[in-house]
Amino acid sequence: MSGDRLEIDDISVQFEGIVALDHVSFALEPGQICGLIGPNGAGKTTLVNVITGFQRPTTGRIRLGSRDLTAARPELRSHLGIARTFQAVRLFRGFTVRENLTAYALGAEKKSAAAKDRAEAVLDWTRLSAVADRRADTLPYGVERRVGIARALAGDPRFLLLDEPAAGLNEEECDDLIHLIQEIPKHFGCAVLLIEHNMRVVMNVCDRICVIDFGKKIAEAAPHVIMKDPVVRNAYLGEEAL
């Protein structure tokens, strides 16, 4: 349905004459996992900041269905179901894991009892119940990153933007992350935009992939097509990816 489609339409961003994004367009569809890849400095995080309202585009539009969100503040976008994680997890360090999730759930639920119930459900689904009463600043790194994803899910998002969730994870943790991301649209019904350098994670979870380089979109296709694209290989993947 068009009302559930998040459109990134002809987005450009310039910083004092430097082009960070150059007429980038694509859309997030309900239930899909879309990868966003590209070299360091390609403009991926800038694009996420535009989508979530932390950066105003120089040109272009962000639309949710028929609603224009281009000038909307981040809190309105969050209220409408656009959630993100950060490369640095940014948990409330003095809160427990449960308190971190409940705080985000309160932003989506009008009643505290419903927010607590949602937080508990997400804790259980993400297998974090065993650490629910631990303070965030005592968590191992891999668990901390999982809590970051769980906290975003506690806000009941329609669109979940994951900014390099595999950064610093070992192979076993990456396997767990792959399974977790694969199941998010099925369980929560939200679309996922995955910004990630770990190509094993990207290729295993994404329905399609958008590639940007020097701020321009250079390809958008299914993972198996992206892997064979000579332009993408030259710009980002390299021969070793084959």
Tens digit of pLDDT for each residue in 129-158? 999 999 999 999 999 999 999 999 999 999
**Residue 208 region by backbone torsions, left for phi larger than 0, else alpha for psi between -120 and 50, else beta:** beta
Domain 2-81+157-241 grouped into CATH 3.10.20.30:
no
Contacts of 81 by beta carbon, 8 Å cutoff, 6+ apart: 156, 157, 158, 159, 190
Regions in the chain scoring below 70 on pLDDT? 1-3, 109-110, 237-242
pLDDT of residue 224: 93
pLDDT of residue 237: 61
**Residue 78 region by backbone torsions, left for phi larger than 0, else alpha for psi between -120 and 50, else beta:** alpha
Please state the pTM of the whole predicted model: 0.91
Q: What are the extents of the domains in the chain? A: 2-81+157-241, 89-154
pLDDT of residue 162: 96
